[in-house]
């Protein structure tokens, strides 16, 4: 069962080969067995999950339900989930039981999916290694001495270790794609505004976007079908007609299915900075795309080199504002001893936030302060526009942009923890996409030294269905995405 994709699981449920309760129990048992070692989940609540599974079985018995009914799904602990501890990886929310569901959680519930558990993550989604979590680091199932990537590292480790059939994540600067690459998964960041941010704890609101983390592009399409949709409670949610994101899969001629597709190769993705063993796998995957009929053209994103610098002004600026609400008064952590109101704020925040979060709040407050706003924040916003323009220009010459997702395979736990700039550079290929608000997907493209590497496909706005299809074609012609880490089969 654990090797089946979502469509096959749905068929097994419909054929009564297994019930949702049995499937949920199977995963709960695997979590009980392997999670102590991986630390991928922050909370599991078997009673609550099994109650949802029983309800799903009833729906299935009456012939109702959709593609995800009865299937257990893990959710990043950034999504508020009614009755569940929702920590965002922080001590600040270590006692917060959400009174309501995020839009994403509600959509999965309405589809009849089972909430299997809440996954570990970098504190407030700030990080690329899952090491900033108050709940401790997550281990990479391919090598327990390595990081799984971040910030959606718990979701990625859970799915690749077969502790969940699929999961959700969020991506502000790469947090779905980078852990997907480091764990051998397929992960998609949709166009900004496609998935509602309601109830998704805010990090940098103009960049944050939720998306699927799964074992294949076809699974991602099914998840995105459930996640996407207009929501008036999120002012940046886009009111567009609903789409079937799997509509392009398996369409068209079989031997050269990608004939006519123009793949853009930006020179900035193929220069220095990427580990040669990763670059070799990316080159081989591009060769495979040519064999499938695609054509490649050279393109340029001249301002991409500025993306990390611009991001580390904009994201902390927004974070400093978003995190102001955690003051020890209304909910979350409150210092046990304090003198007056200011002392309550100060001590609660000093004790409730970890070092990386404090660093971002300080940077953000600084770049927004009088006298620095123009020099840093406004300047970063201008660079953001230039980067979006670069992509617009590139998409006049190609349909899809291809390159590496991450400049290296999984690094060792602790290796970059003391050097924030080195850590920030692990998102060098992913951040520009968030600044421009574009959709992108990472998919497995091979192994170097026993560790997986990811290929990134970036599309123009609203081309998710096309991107999923382009990823799917590669997955039909390769088997990297089917590989399972030893000890978890
Ligand atoms: N690693 C980046 C950061 O630390 C991106 C995180 C994310 O996408 N949530 O901000």
Cα(78)–Cα(36) distance, integer angstroms: 21
Residues with CB under 6 A from ligand 1: 125-128, 151, 171-175, 203, 315, 427
Give the position, in ligand 1's atom list, of the atom nearest the Cα of 204: 9
pLDDT of 140: 98
pLDDT of 250: 72
Task: Write the pLDDT tens digit of every residue in 142-163.
Answer: 999 999 999 999 999 999 999 9
- CB of 73 within 8 A of CB of 113? yes
Cα(188)–Cα(131) distance, integer angstroms: 22
Q: What is the mean pLDDT of residues 397-417?
A: 97
| Domain housing 130 | 1-489
Q: Which of 81, 175, 307, 442 is catalytic?
A: 175
**Residues facing 213 on adjacent strands:** 167, 187
Cα(441)–Cα(433) distance, integer angstroms: 10
Give the position, in ligand 1's atom list, of the atom nearest the Cα of 427: 1
Cα(425)–Cα(273) distance, integer angstroms: 9
Cα dihedral sign for 411, 414, 419, 423? positive
Specify the CATH number for the domain of residue 241. 3.90.1300.10
Tokens of 401: 């942009």
The DSSP string of 214-251 is ESSHHHHHHHHHHHB---TTSTT--------TTTTTT-
**Residues facing 115 on adjacent strands:** 73
- CB of 113 within 8 A of CB of 69? yes
Coil, strand, or helix at residue 169? strand
Considering only 79-83, 115-119, 257-261, which range has the smallest mean pLDDT?
A: 257-261
> Would you call 479 a catalytic residue per the annotation?
no
Over pLDDT 90: what percentage of the chain?
A: 96
pLDDT of 256: 84
Residue 268: pLDDT band with limits 50, 70, 90? very high
Q: Ligand 1 centre from 154 Cα, in Å?
A: 14
Q: 103-110 and 217-227 helices cross at what angle (nearest 10)? A: 100
Task: Write the pLDDT tens digit of every residue in 56-112.
Answer: 999 999 999 999 999 999 999 999 999 999 999 999 999 999 999 999 999 999 999
Q: Tell me the CA distances in angstroms from 27 to 19, 34, 49, 223, one per residue in order.
A: 13, 10, 11, 18
- The answer to whether residue 253 scores a pLDDT higher than 70 is no
HSE of 40 in the Cβ direction (CA atoms, 13 Å)?
36
- CB of 457 within 8 A of CB of 471? yes
CA-wise closest residue to 76 among 201, 193, 207? 201
Cα(399)–Cα(403) distance, integer angstroms: 14
Q: Ligand 1 centre from 128 Cα, in Å?
A: 6
> Would you call 76 a catalytic residue per the annotation?
yes
Q: Ligand 1 centre from 176 Cα, in Å?
A: 9
Q: What is the mean pLDDT of residues 395-411?
A: 98
CA-wise closest residue to 433 among 289, 236, 268? 268
pLDDT of 255: 75
* Residue 421 CB neighbours (<10 A): 9
Mean pLDDT score across all residues of the chain:
97
At residue 169, φ and ψ (nearest 5 deg) are -145, 180
- The answer to whether residue 251 scores a pLDDT higher than 90 is no
**Probe ligand 1: pick from 121, 150, 322, 435, max atoms within 8 Å of CB?**
150
Over pLDDT 70: what percentage of the chain?
A: 99
Cα(38)–Cα(152) distance, integer angstroms: 14
- The answer to whether residue 280 scores a pLDDT higher than 90 is yes
> Would you call 412 a catalytic residue per the annotation?
no
- The answer to whether residue 307 scores a pLDDT higher than 80 is yes
CA 85 to chain centre: 20
Task: Write the pLDDT tens digit of every residue in 187-208.
Answer: 999 999 999 999 999 999 999 9
Give the position, in ligand 1's atom list, of the atom nearest the Cα of 126: 4
pLDDT of 252: 63
Q: What is the mean pLDDT of residues 21-45?
A: 98
Q: Which of 19, 20, 49, 76 is catalytic?
A: 76
> Number of folded domains in the chain?
1
pLDDT of 162: 98
């Amino acid at each position: 069962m654990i090797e089946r994709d979502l469509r096959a699981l749905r068929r097994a449920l419909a054929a009564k080969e297994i019930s949702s309760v049995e499937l949920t129990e199977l995963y709960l048992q695997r979590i009980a067995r392997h999670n102590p070692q991986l630390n991928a989940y922050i909370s599991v609540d078997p009673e609550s999950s099994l109650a949802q599974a029983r309800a799903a079985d009833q729906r299935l018995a009456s012939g109702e339900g959709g593609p995800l009914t009865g299937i257990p799904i893990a959710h990043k602990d950034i999504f508020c989930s009614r009755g569940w501890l929702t920590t965002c990886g922080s001590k600040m929310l270590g006692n917060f039981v959400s009174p309501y569901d995020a839009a994403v959680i509600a959509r999965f519930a309405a589809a009849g999916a089972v909430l299997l558990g809440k996954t570990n993550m970098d504190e407030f989604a700030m990080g690329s290694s899952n090491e900033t979590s108050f709940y401790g680091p997550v281990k990479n199932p391919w090598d327990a001495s390595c990081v799984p990537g971040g910030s959606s590292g718990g979701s990625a480790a859970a799915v690749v270790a077969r502790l969940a059939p699929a999961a959700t994540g969020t991506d502000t600067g790469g947090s779905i794609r980078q852990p997907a690459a480091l764990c051998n998964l397929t992960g998609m960041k949709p166009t900004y505004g496609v998935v509602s941010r309601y109830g998704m704890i805010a990090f940098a609101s103009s960049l944050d976007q939720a998306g699927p983390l799964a074992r294949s592009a076809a699974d991602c399409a099914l998840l995105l079908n459930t996640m996407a949709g207009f929501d008036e409670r999120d002012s940046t949610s886009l009111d567009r007609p609903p789409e079937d994101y799997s509509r392009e899969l398996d369409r068209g001629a079989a031997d050269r299915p990608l004939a006519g597709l123009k793949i853009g190769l930006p020179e900035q993705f193929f220069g220095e900075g990427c580990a040669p063993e990763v670059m070799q796998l990316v080159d081989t995957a591009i060769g495979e795309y040519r064999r499938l009929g695609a054509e490649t053209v050279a393109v340029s994103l001249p301002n991409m080199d500025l993306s990390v610098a611009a991001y580390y002004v904009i994201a902390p600026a927004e974070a400093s504002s978003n995190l102001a609400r955690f003051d020890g008064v209304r909910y979350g952590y409150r210092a046990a001893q304090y003198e007056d109101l200011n002392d309550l704020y100060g001590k609660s925040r000093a004790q409730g936030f970890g070092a990386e979060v404090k660093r971002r709040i300080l940077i953000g407050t600084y770049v927004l302060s009088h006298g620095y706003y123009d020099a840093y924040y406004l300047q970063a916003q201008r660079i953001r526009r230039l980067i979006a323009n670069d992509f617009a220009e590139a998409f006049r010459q190609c349909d899809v942009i291809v390159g590496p997702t991450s400049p290296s395979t999984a690094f060792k736990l602790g290796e970059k923890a003391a050097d924030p700039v080195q850590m920030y550079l692990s998102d060098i290929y992913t951040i520009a996409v968030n600044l421009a608000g574009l959709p992108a997907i990472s998919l497995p493209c091979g192994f170097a030294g026993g560790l997986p590497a990811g290929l990134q496909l970036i599309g123009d706005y609203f081309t998710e269905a096309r991107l999923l299809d382009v990823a799917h074609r590669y997955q039909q012609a390769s088997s990297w995405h089917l590989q399972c880490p030893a000890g978890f089969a």
